[in-house]
Structure 1
Amino acid sequence: MGPYLWRYRRAVALGFAALLVKDILAAIVPVFLGRGVDAMQAGGFNLNAVLWLAAAIVGFAAVKGVFQYWMRVIVIGVSRDVEFDLRNDLYRHLTRLDAGFYGRTRTGDVMARATNDLGAVRMMVGPALMYSFETGITFLLVVAIMLRIDWKLTLAALAPAPLISIVVSRFGHLIHIRFEQIQKLFSDISSRVQENIAGVRVVRAFVQEEAELRNFERLNQLYVAENIRLAKLSGAFLPLLQALIGLTMLILLWAGGLRLLGGDLTLGQFVMFNTYLMILVWPMIAFGWVVNLVQRGTASLGRIHAILQEQPSITAPPVPVPVPRPLRGEIEFRAVTVEYPAGRALDGIDLRIPAGATVAIVGHTGSGKSTLVHLIPRLIDPAGGAVLIDGVDIRRYCPEELRRQIGFVPQETILFSATLAQNIAFGVDDCPP
């Protein structure tokens, strides 16, 4: 994600600067509160002092609110920009991949990664990143102030911290594994829906509605079951985290009360400690939420990265031969062999079609007619031999430039979500809308 965030480095820096100012202001407020309590205890009740103290606290809180607002607007805005860029890059990459990739990858799986997984990545880049920095800075500032006031009481209050780290690490790993499984099941459901909608006529022709409903219900039950397992995991994680936080507060009340009674701590300092501990409650809880988001985001990012790592097998040569405009149209197949995982589709085909000729390829189903035609615009490449147009091996041409010179009517009718005129003119760059 580094290159994507680097594009918005100024906005990221501004957002985290606002975050830093907000955290500093939040850490200052308890200092005023503690000193005010000590001042009233020493000099008696003073209404003017209370009013000035209240005004200072309200003023700091208001300024903190302003910086908090801009922190969220900027950082969450950057996460939306990163999602936008990543979605465009993913779609651009998908358009470059060849038929081999789509032959072994289900459409529903691709759709799940382009929607659900992208959303999880955005939550990791936005809220998770923002709150991880916020909780970290808040923790450092508050602990530093607490250590300066009374380091013994601070160490006692933070004694459960190692247990919190262990719990977070263990549950974070389990959440990551569970969420990966959920995303895979979501891909299965998306694929099932896409296949049934695309093949609805076939399903009805073979009276398979009930069978497909049963298959979909089975997938849906597995998806719900995995989500319930994740909910149980999160349901155990957060209460356990809150219990450890409660233990921290109990230790503070016990140890701080003893030091207060012994005269080692003033009442104002004791109030400050309690206030700071209440401030630390949110970072501790938010840290658990952040771990959840990060584990989900990393699982989804891995699934997206797997697609981005796919490389098309059909690419332009380093120095492509210019495609003549127009091509004469002489086509020659020289000892062409095409193999699929299921077996060999074409074996040593030799064929020459003169320019301007009209040729029909006839044969039974599965004899390789479509495969032969797909070789001409280089939608697939032969495993052996060569296909030549006007005496030039088409692998020496840029695929995009070659295809612009070829009219192609697919075997399956595809209508895009556009007008009939736009569907007819599909692929004509200079056609008016």
Structure 2
Amino acid sequence: MTDPTNTAAASRPLTRDRLDEFVRAHDIKTIMLGVPHLMGRLKGKTFDASHFLTRMQSGAEMCAYILASDAHMTPLNGFRLTGWHDGYGDLTAVPDPTTIRRLSYLPHTALLLADAHHHNGTPIEVAPRQMLRRQIAHLADFGFQARVGIESEFLLYRGNPHRIHHNGYHNLVPVSPHNLDYALDHPPALTAFLHDLQHALHQADAPVEAIKTEGAPGQIEVTWPYGDPMRACDTGHLGQPVPAGARRRGACSEHQRTRPPARTGTREPGTPDEDRVPGKSGGLLRPGIPVTEKYEFIDGEAGNFPVQQMCTWAGVSTSGFYHWRSRPLSATAKRRAELRAVILQVFSDSHETYGYRRVHAALQRMNVQAGAELVRALMRELGLVPCQPRPWRATTTADDAAPATPDPGPTAMTFPARRACRRETSFLAAATSGGDVAPTSRCA
């Protein structure tokens, strides 16, 4: 997950001079410029690092509606800053050189936070960083100094983000179905995710104070140390993209599938123009493929290619696709969703050691009707892979050149006398330093 190049230096704060060195050495090739919007999320642009350092240091243009929208980036009315009354003009995002962070989970990438300014160079007062800066100044006028600690909480689910959005965020399967409040015995997949999350934040110069699981299934809490309010809030913004980067090592932070996964093949050759045509289709463009499977593939790639073009390539109706996507789940799909939840619980209870046969046997003991192959298919969809025991390997080998241990020969002690023998061994050190140590024994 982390960028192997110069990871030792990644955890130290980046200055402008060090950023220039990394860019010239091609260790950093991409710079993300972000402005916190009113809902606390980062919005911005991604720049080529060399172009940014030579042309964009004075600021970049962004639409002012990022400070006049809701959580879904829907433009809202009633804002004096911008709106339909002025055509949603632009603002200038001025980089703050004290906020340079290297994102180790994104190869060769650095993040800078920016302040929102008007075109005349004055700060926009409703921008979150400017509002915080103004409140810190007010406290200083009264002789107070603020110290802030940030806490971030999120829920961790299994599956595919596109699929769970398609199903309206219903039937979610958390990474763990149990109350793990203050637990230390996490499932292996969750333990790996938490380790990756902590490492990624440390590499981004945002070391955490603590990470713990909480009472709700899949609930995670991350806390950062108390400190300067501006830096604390800037660090809190990193808690949003980092989980998405940490989950690249496993499926534990993704969402549940409530339909079969799209058949995206892995062995088909790419196409000459993959910007327009998907490079892999899992054979869905061949004759005889069910229409439902084509719809599932189109739905899975909807965020990467236009739906209408994919429907044309697949030879299906666009209206038929949208009708398929809007119809309620069938009884079979609902049944499979319920089985996924039970399978996940059995798998978690086994500390992620059960394969599909043992999970199937556990379901039979619970009077849950499901075939072994169905259990195997659902575990594959959920990405559940049992922990495999390590094979035994000899760690010592005999030295052929060593002398053989002499046989002491038969003893004169009879069996009853041997049973009555009580051996007490102690070590008596010689009076002089460096003396020999001799064992003594006594028989009773």
TM-score bucket of the superposed structures, by smaller chain? under 0.3
**TM-score (structure 1 length as normaliser):** 0.22
Larger proportion of helix? 1
Which protein is bigger by CA-based radius of gyration?
Answer: 1
Structure with higher RCO (Cα < 8 A, 6+ apart): 1
Larger proportion of strand? 2
